[in-house]
Chains A and B, each alone.
Chain A
Amino acid sequence: MPPVYRGPFGKPQAERLLWRAGFGPRPGEAERLAKLGLEGAVHSLLRPGRDRLKGPRPHDDSGHKLSPYDRWGHDQLWWLDRMVRTTKPLHERMTLVWHDWFATSRAGVDSAKLMLRQNQLFRRIGLNSFPALLMEVTRDPAMLLWLSGVDNQKGSPNENYARELMELFTLGADRGAYTEHDVREQARALTGFRYTWSNNLGPIKFRFDNSRHDTGYKRIFGKRGRYDWRDSCRLCVHHRLHPSFFVTKLWGYFVPTPPRAATKRSLERLYVTSGYEIAPVVAAILRHPALYTGPRMVKSPAVYLAGMLRGLGRGIDTEAWTWLMSLAGQQLFYPPNVAGWDDTRWLDTATFRARWEIAGYALRPKLVKDGDRHVPHKAGELVSRAQAVLGRPTLTPQTEHVLEHFARRSLADANQHWKKDAYPPLIENALRQLLASAPDLQTS
């Protein structure tokens, strides 16, 4: 079995677990989870019961219900709301993992309905069996449109899905797992999906049609058979290089540094002996010492934003998140390409500024107004109040020092009578902005 973390499990560890396996703690949640201990905490994430969606209901800027099927950007708001209000954070996080793994973009699907249908699939079976998930994804309408599955017909094979199935979903490129010949033969095996065109509804009735399927012999990974799409998926999952691809890729969603060889081997064994189940591998990663003692991890924009709203106790109440998320480099339902988002490059000068904007928008409803006389005049109290507003995240001493230094200097600037009253609210607002965009909150 892979090693298990044996160190102390207090608030900082519980906080990290909630950020890596979900969307961060609500106020007080990390303290409560810490009391359960590591085993109890991981168990509670894996078996959370029914999703009760806690917190304010979502609405748009005019106070209307979201229309994820019809209004531009509401698909993304709908999902962000799930992330913010869920009581099953790991299941929601896995939905995001699979959205990145099987990255499908609405840019090529052109139907919010089909995108959300795929999204619900990830939510429903995202912690069950990987081969079952892979087959559902292979015949998922959004995927069939996105990677040309419906254009792949007997006599004129389209290699788009066949290639990505192996390169990105199950085996990986440049590992000697497959050849260009395998790509072409897999494409033949995957022929036969079609839909019916409706003038009102667009593509409907996605199905496998044997008359469009190439029923001839194919040679894939050196084996010969009259393979179809199910065989195509099975051959990939049972390929000797699949378990190593699967556990390494999955690990990368939770821990930023690659697993050691021994850990990798034991995760592969666990995956295979469990019958290619996802949950046991996820549980082993969440218990692994590397998650608690290793370096921090940069949050993706979705995790950063949803987590900040959870900490603030704020629901989805503005459409601004739609354009702010795309500025930050992660427009949900629009991954940049079929390889998903690049988790090693979330932060640069453009996306950092977008996160600064996100922080400002998130803080806006709780803004301290000019002339508010209840704001304290002491640096330490001002910093403490800013921390409280954001759910009291654990900070590095270096960041605390910068915040206190800023508060002290600014209070010292208030050397005229009018400034003594005017500055504390401004300082308090600036502290919240700095804290929300500090390196401590960009990472977990």
Chain B
Amino acid sequence: MTRSSCHHCDEFSRLSLLRRGAAEAGRGLPAIERGMPTPAGTGLDRRGFVAGAFGLALSVYGLGKLKLFEDGIARAASGPAQPVLVSVFLPGGADSLSVLYPALDPNYKKLRPTLALPESAGPVFAEDTRLHWHPSLQPFATLHAEGKVSVMPAIGYAHPDQSHFTSRHFWEVGATDARLTSGWMGRYLDHHGTNDNPLQGLSLDYQLQPSLASQRVPVASLAAPDQYTFGAPGVWGQVETRMLEALTALGARRSDPFLDQAAKATKQSDRLRRQLAPFAKNSGNGFGSPVPYPDVDSDFPRQLSGLAAMLAANLPVRCVAITAPGEYDTHSDQPQALADGLDVTARTLFAFQRDLEARGLANRVLTLVWSEFGRRGEENGSGTDHGAAGSAFLIGERARGTMVGEFPGLANGLDEDGNLRPTSDFRGVYSGLLEQWLGADASAVIPSAKSFARPALVK
């Protein structure tokens, strides 16, 4: 496993992915039917599959002594199937008044003389016919009609902060507290995760998503599950095996706090390398997704198809965080920017949902799509400035599929700054997900959890 082959396979898999995507473009997503071939990995005894795959990888690396660790992963993977929560962040503050737009409200055209979308542009939202879906969100409308999307048309918190960073931070830590440094999913894992499984909190990104920042247990971040290898130029065979053992040793605890931070990153990377060894072996073959994902210039489809494959292989993933493609801070040129971002995001999440259904995993995964705030009611010419309540979506077969909070309307629904008032609180949604989906005690994770109303989120 040399460095150059790694780089080339990266290029290669990207290329082959593009080719495959091109070959299938225009065919649309296939319906899920009986008699489709069983996806790779299903049907195998979980423990057997994981332990077997790791045994193979470990013998390659000659790390036979790590039997205990191998058992640890296998145990985590062979327990009862754990529910998985995926958090998808729309960065910049997506405009809730375009995501679900009040087409016929006379105030809408007054506030948005150039940006207002025509009534016919997007499908009507069945639960509140005053609203229409943004045309790019047709895939969400389809899933909603199947009862798989809960819509939060005006979600936020009292005394909204219009700073991207502060408001995003509130959502990430699960509290309106600027000083909290651990993420809300990180704290959940601190209580319910284990000390030897970085994959339990998976940041599908080039760096750690703050909502997964934990204090006690390890979490992982990786951009692509099939490329997590550690080769070195001019090193191979037995010496390479020894080198990787030394890498493990470099991860040992240090007394200086920042030296220790580097050692921790070393240690967690080393663990992740071993967890993902089975994928590294299949590098270049894609993830065997049974449905096509959008063929676009974005990592998002590949990251989610990789996630579905990891779940199909029973890797012990529990909380996932990822940033959606697109730029939602639409101070100017809003129509195109918003349509482009929502289009790739919605089509990919649709493919992900169909992928999970085809692999028989759909009852294990819920996806929460959110943004740090919505935007100002009144447009500024070609865009909109920062606002208050935004929109969020909970997607999945087990999502209850009914609206959380209502659309407050534009006549009385704007606050003194001209921003949409929230009709649901993100901390209530988090608490509901912790209790109803993850089976956890919300008050151990969300500060003052008791004070927030719990919407019914799961069926």
Q: With an 8 A cutoff between CB atoms, is B163 at the interface?
A: yes
Q: Interface 1/0s, chain A 411-436, versus B by CB < 8 A?
A: 00100000100010111011001100
B232/A440 in contact, CB under 8 A: no
Q: With an 8 A cutoff between CB atoms, is A31 at the interface?
A: no
B246/A403 in contact, CB under 8 A: yes
Nearest-CB residue, chain B, relative to A161: B331
Q: Interface size (A, Cβ < 8 Å)?
A: 70
A413/B242 in contact, CB under 8 A: yes
A433/B243 in contact, CB under 8 A: yes
State how many angstroms separate the Cβ of B394 from the closest Cβ of chain A.
26
Q: Interface 1/0s, chain A 157-170, versus B by CB < 8 A?
A: 11110010001100
**Known contacts A160-B385, A167-B163, A430-B232; A396 and B246 CB within 8 A of each other:** no
Nearest-CB residue, chain A, relative to B220: A349
Nearest-CB residue, chain A, relative to B213: A345
Q: With an 8 A cutoff between CB atoms, is B231 at the interface?
A: yes
State how many angstroms separate the Cβ of A157 from the closest Cβ of chain B.
7
Interface residues of B in 343-402 (CB under 8 A from A): 380-383, 385-386
B234/A425 in contact, CB under 8 A: yes
**Known contacts A298-B262, A427-B239; A360 and B231 CB within 8 A of each other:** yes
Nearest-CB residue, chain B, relative to A435: B250
Q: With an 8 A cutoff between CB atoms, is B436 at the interface?
A: no
A327/B223 in contact, CB under 8 A: yes
State how many angstroms separate the Cβ of A313 from the closest Cβ of chain B.
18
**Known contacts A356-B230, A434-B243; A339 and B165 CB within 8 A of each other:** yes
Residues in A with CB closer than 8 Å to B260 are 439
A160 to B163, CA, bound (A): 10
A183 to B376, CA, bound (A): 14
B257/A295 in contact, CB under 8 A: yes
B268/A360 in contact, CB under 8 A: no
A404 to B250, CA, bound (A): 12
The 8 Å CB contact of A360, one of B161, B166, B232, is: B232
Residues in B with CB closer than 8 Å to A406 are 242-243, 245-246, 249
A434/B242 in contact, CB under 8 A: no
Q: Which of A197-205, A221-229, A361-369 contacts B (4 or more CB under 8 A)?
A: A361-369
Of B238, B254, B258, which is in contact with the most chain A CB atoms at under 10 Å from its CB? B258
Residues in B with CB closer than 8 Å to A423 are 238-239
Residues in B with CB closer than 8 Å to A167 are 163, 165
Nearest-CB residue, chain A, relative to B243: A430
Residues in A with CB closer than 8 Å to B129 are none
Q: With an 8 A cutoff between CB atoms, is A350 at the interface?
A: yes
B262/A151 in contact, CB under 8 A: no
State how many angstroms separate the Cβ of A408 from the closest Cβ of chain B.
10
The 8 Å CB contact of B386, one of A159, A357, A368, is: A159
State how many angstroms separate the Cβ of A420 from the closest Cβ of chain B.
13
The 8 Å CB contact of A439, one of B164, B208, B254, is: B254
B221/A410 in contact, CB under 8 A: no
A350/B234 in contact, CB under 8 A: no
Q: With an 8 A cutoff between CB atoms, is B252 at the interface?
A: yes
Interface residue SS majority, chain A? helix
Residues in A with CB closer than 8 Å to B205 are 350
A426/B165 in contact, CB under 8 A: no
**Known contacts A329-B207, A349-B268; A399 and B250 CB within 8 A of each other:** yes
A413 to B241, CA, bound (A): 11
Of A339, A351, A369, which is in contact with the most chain B CB atoms at under 10 Å from its CB? A351
Q: With an 8 A cutoff between CB atoms, is B266 at the interface?
A: yes
Q: Interface size (B, Cβ < 8 Å)?
A: 66
Q: With an 8 A cutoff between CB atoms, is B293 at the interface?
A: no
A338 to B243, CA, bound (A): 40
Q: With an 8 A cutoff between CB atoms, is A296 at the interface?
A: yes
B207/A163 in contact, CB under 8 A: no
Q: With an 8 A cutoff between CB atoms, is A120 at the interface?
A: no
Q: With an 8 A cutoff between CB atoms, is B236 at the interface?
A: yes
Nearest-CB residue, chain A, relative to B249: A402
A442 to B198, CA, bound (A): 21
B250/A434 in contact, CB under 8 A: yes
B262/A353 in contact, CB under 8 A: no
A360 to B261, CA, bound (A): 22
**Known contacts A163-B163, A429-B235, A430-B232; A180 and B417 CB within 8 A of each other:** yes
Q: With an 8 A cutoff between CB atoms, is A347 at the interface?
A: yes
Q: Interface 1/0s, chain A 138-181, versus B by CB < 8 A?
A: 00000000001001000011111001000110000110000010
Q: With an 8 A cutoff between CB atoms, is B265 at the interface?
A: yes
State how many angstroms separate the Cβ of A293 from the closest Cβ of chain B.
12
B332/A151 in contact, CB under 8 A: yes
Q: With an 8 A cutoff between CB atoms, is A273 at the interface?
A: no
State how many angstroms separate the Cβ of B234 from the closest Cβ of chain A.
4
Of B166, B213, B238, which is in contact with the most chain A CB atoms at under 10 Å from its CB? B238
A167 to B386, CA, bound (A): 14
Q: With an 8 A cutoff between CB atoms, is B297 at the interface?
A: no
Nearest-CB residue, chain B, relative to A444: B258
**Known contacts A298-B261, A399-B250; A352 and B269 CB within 8 A of each other:** yes
Residues in A with CB closer than 8 Å to B434 are none
Q: With an 8 A cutoff between CB atoms, is A387 at the interface?
A: no
Residues in A with CB closer than 8 Å to B166 are 173-174
Residues in B with CB closer than 8 Å to A180 are 162, 417
Residues in B with CB closer than 8 Å to A350 are 203, 205-208, 221-223
A399 to B264, CA, bound (A): 14
A437 to B272, CA, bound (A): 17
Q: Interface 1/0s, chain A 324-368, versus B by CB < 8 A?
A: 001101000000011100000101111111101100110110011
A332 to B264, CA, bound (A): 26
Q: With an 8 A cutoff between CB atoms, is B450 at the interface?
A: no
Q: With an 8 A cutoff between CB atoms, is A405 at the interface?
A: yes
Q: With an 8 A cutoff between CB atoms, is A443 at the interface?
A: yes
Q: Which residues of A contact B (CB under 8 A)?
A: 107, 148, 151, 156-160, 163, 167-168, 173-174, 180, 183, 256, 295-298, 326-327, 329, 337-339, 345, 347-354, 356-357, 360-361, 363-364, 367-370, 396, 398-399, 402-403, 405-406, 409-410, 413, 419, 423, 425-427, 429-430, 433-434, 437-440, 442-443
Q: Which residues of B contact A (CB under 8 A)?
A: 3, 91, 161-166, 178, 198, 203, 205-208, 210, 213, 220-223, 228, 230-240, 242-243, 245-247, 249-250, 252, 254, 256-266, 268-269, 272, 327, 331-332, 380-383, 385-386, 417
Instruction: Give me 7 other A-B pairs in contact (C-beta within 8 A), A156-B380, A426-B240 excluded.
Output: A151-B383, A295-B258, A352-B269, A370-B234, A398-B252, A403-B246, A413-B242
Of the A-B pairs whose beta carbons lie under 8 Å apart in the complex, a sample of 18, sorted by A's number, is: A158-B331, A159-B386, A295-B259, A296-B258, A298-B261, A348-B203, A349-B228, A350-B208, A351-B207, A354-B206, A356-B269, A370-B234, A399-B250, A402-B250, A405-B246, A406-B249, A430-B239, A440-B259
Closest 7 CB pairs of A and B: A439-B262, A429-B234, A347-B265, A406-B246, A433-B232, A442-B262, A426-B239
